[in-house]
A = this chain, B = another copy of it.
Amino acid sequence: MHPADPTDSGFADTPAPVTRREFVHGAAASAALLAMGGLSAPLAAMPGAMPAVAADRAAVLAQVAAQHDDTLRRLREWIALPSIAAEDRNYPQGPEHMARLAREAGFQHVEVVPTAGKSGVFATLDAGAPTWLAIYMMYDVKQYDPAEWSAPPLEGRIVEKAGLGKVLVGRGATNSKGPQMACLAALHAFRAANTKLPVNLVLICEGEEEIGSPNFRQIVFKPEVEAALKKCVGIIIPLGNQDPDGSVQINLGAKGVVELELVASGEKWGRGPTKDVHSSLAAQVDSPVWHLVQALNTLVKADGHTPAVEGFFENVRPLTAEQRRILDAAIPKRSEESAKRSLGVSRWIADEPWRESLVRLASQPTINIEGLVGGYTGPGGKTILPHRAIAKIDMRLVPDMTAKEALAKLKAHLAKQGFGDVEVNMTGGYDPTETPADSRLVKAMAATYRKVGVEPLLWPRLAGSWPGATFTAAPLKLAAGQFGMGHGGGAHAPDEYWVVEPANPKVAGMDGAARSFVELFYALA
């Protein structure tokens, strides 16, 4: 999921490798939000007179509960079929199953869309409504090692999880089959209630999300897909957006990111050794590791954080008055104390107060070192002069920066500073995203959350990143965002889970998540 709060650090406790996508689809967030009312009442029968739409709506909501066992069965069947692009696993069964799920949920037009890699699925459901909404799904999941799991990763076993309630454990439980199945369950409920959907839907699915969506544009920009998307008021990514405390955040955008490796080596430098040599030679032979340290040192200012790459701030657009207003409204609702505690941090950059540090978090681009590795890295020492060292870097970008621009500026900067030999190997990245607060999609999301009893926290820009620019940038310029009640965790890690029957009444279970989609469709109509 999209963590509701970028000060989230729950991911750091997961035993398995955590990637950017883990962050996007990850587990709990830590924002301390307003206390909010219980969920049960608004989701139960509506009081008073009941007009036609309200009657339909009530019938649909009732069907969500009635279909509980069917939804769970469908989710388990899906989890039993893990599609893993990196392993060429369950292909073409993955997209075929995805297409079947779409057909069964009521999509009238369903087609598998070939790409240079794994096929996607494109589907439409025309309910004759005036409004079109797009839904993004992924049918692939992350690799897993059954030996690390306490329950079989493909069984979908229901277990009691302390503090959370009954959860379904399985690969893909929260990332992203559980939330996606909740969305599909909403459609099944409309069918079962024999009620027309209040919106038309475009479904766009891929099977390579876990390898960085290398062919996704081939699906999105297939002419009939693009044409369908252009009719939409926006696109939602089904996710369990709730923290364990029930809170929900709506992010109006996200920073972009460039991940890259800086590699200094004797080979490329033309100085120093081309293999590790004895460290006594440091008196005679240049060191590619010192070279890397000196190159790195040029990338941030003496304060240790402000990017010093030439021209880096050229296209940084300051926060708008509207964004500042949203921040001003949200900041008092977030607890500095709980953020510091959860992060293990005692001071913010430059000893700034909470408010300033959050403005900085939302507004500033960064250059971060994810990791350093070179030479001898084991216990104690080893007297070598290494021929090669690597810094793993990520740069976070704000509008109107682009990944391409940031990468080019970094390269130019290094060359100008005398480090043109240091290799810059980009491993991933994408542009920032923005979705207007006054878009129909965001308004409908906020109204839906309120309707089901949660006051969402609007936030101008997630400091984390997700590859949504495909939708939000030209030519589509769609409003886009993760949506859905519910909670899960352990994405990319063992014992991934999705809450089916929550212990905390403020958290939605599987049916509650499905009902939030029903409500969103009505809110958009």
- Chain A residues within CB distance 8 Å of chain B: 6-9, 11-12, 17-20, 23, 255, 257, 259-261, 266, 270-287, 289-294, 296-297, 300, 302, 304-305, 343-349, 357-358, 360-378, 380-387, 389, 392, 394, 396, 427-428, 462-465
Q: Which residue of B lies closest to A380 (CB)?
A: B427
Q: Which residues of B contact A274 (CB under 8 A)?
A: 344-345
Q: Is the CB of B12 within 8 A of A282?
A: no
Q: Is the CB of B381 within 8 A of A392?
A: yes
Q: Which residues of B contact A372 (CB under 8 A)?
A: 289, 292, 372-375, 377, 389
Of B12, B345, B462, B464, the residue contacting A266 (CB under 8 A) is B345
Beyond A259-B383, A273-B344, A275-B9, is A290–B300 a contact (Cβ under 8 Å)?
Answer: yes
Ranked 9 nearest A-B pairs via Cβ: A274-B344, A371-B375, A280-B463, A371-B376, A282-B368, A373-B377, A282-B366, A259-B381, A289-B369
Beyond A257-B383, A381-B370, is A278–B348 a contact (Cβ under 8 Å)?
Answer: no
Q: Is the CB of B284 within 8 A of A361?
A: yes
Q: Is the CB of B17 within 8 A of A383?
A: no
- Which of A20, A283, A367, A427 lies at the interface centre, i.e. has the most chain B CB atoms within 10 A of its CB? A283
Q: Is the CB of B394 within 8 A of A284?
A: no
Q: Is the CB of A344 within 8 A of B23?
A: no
CA distance A304 to B348 in the complex (A): 32
CA distance A475 to B465 in the complex (A): 65
Q: Which residues of B contact A294 (CB under 8 A)?
A: 297, 302, 304
Q: Is the CB of A428 within 8 A of B392?
A: no
**Chain B min CB distance to A503 (Å):** 26
State how many copies of this chain the complex holds.
Answer: 2
Q: Is the CB of A392 within 8 A of B367?
A: no
Q: Is the CB of B280 within 8 A of A17?
A: no
Q: Is the CB of B361 within 8 A of A8?
A: no
Q: Is the CB of A371 within 8 A of B374?
A: yes
CA distance A17 to B12 in the complex (A): 31
Q: Which residues of B contact A292 (CB under 8 A)?
A: 372
Q: List 23 A-B contacts (CB under 8 A).
A: A12-B277, A12-B384, A23-B383, A279-B370, A281-B361, A282-B396, A283-B360, A283-B362, A283-B365, A284-B360, A284-B463, A285-B343, A285-B349, A286-B349, A293-B293, A293-B369, A294-B304, A370-B376, A372-B373, A372-B377, A376-B392, A377-B392, A380-B427
Q: Which residues of B contact A360 (CB under 8 A)?
A: 283-284
CA distance A7 to B373 in the complex (A): 25
Q: Which residues of B contact A7 (CB under 8 A)?
A: 281, 284
Q: Which residues of B contact A344 (CB under 8 A)?
A: 266, 273-275, 277, 387
CA distance A39 to B501 in the complex (A): 87
**Chain B min CB distance to A373 (Å):** 4
Q: Which residues of B contact A386 (CB under 8 A)?
A: 369-371
Q: Which residue of B lies closest to A377 (CB)?
A: B373
Of B345, B362, B369, the residue contacting A273 (CB under 8 A) is B345
Of B8, B271, B371, B427, the residue contacting A347 (CB under 8 A) is B271
**Chain B min CB distance to A489 (Å):** 15
Beyond A280-B255, A392-B375, is A286–B270 a contact (Cβ under 8 Å)?
Answer: no
Beyond A257-B383, A259-B383, A381-B259, is A304–B279 a contact (Cβ under 8 Å)?
Answer: no
- Which of A296, A300, A369, A427 lies at the interface centre, i.e. has the most chain B CB atoms within 10 A of its CB? A369
Of B368, B381, B465, the residue contacting A394 (CB under 8 A) is B381
Q: Is the CB of A278 within 8 A of B392?
A: no
Q: Is the CB of A345 within 8 A of B383?
A: no
Q: Is the CB of B381 within 8 A of A427?
A: yes
Q: Is the CB of B281 within 8 A of A18?
A: no
CA distance A304 to B364 in the complex (A): 32
User: Given contacts A293-B369, A371-B377, could you give 13 more A-B pairs where the C-beta distance is less than 8 Å?
Assistant: A9-B277, A12-B275, A282-B366, A283-B360, A285-B348, A286-B304, A286-B349, A289-B371, A294-B297, A370-B384, A372-B389, A373-B374, A380-B427
Q: Is the CB of A287 within 8 A of B368?
A: yes
Q: Is the CB of B281 within 8 A of A305?
A: no
**Chain B min CB distance to A317 (Å):** 15
Of B287, B365, B396, B428, the residue contacting A304 (CB under 8 A) is B287
Q: Which residues of B contact A347 (CB under 8 A)?
A: 270-271, 286
Q: Is the CB of B371 within 8 A of A382?
A: yes
CA distance A329 to B413 in the complex (A): 47
Q: Which residues of B contact A276 (CB under 8 A)?
A: 9, 12
CA distance A266 to B292 in the complex (A): 23
Q: Which residues of B contact A357 (CB under 8 A)?
A: 284
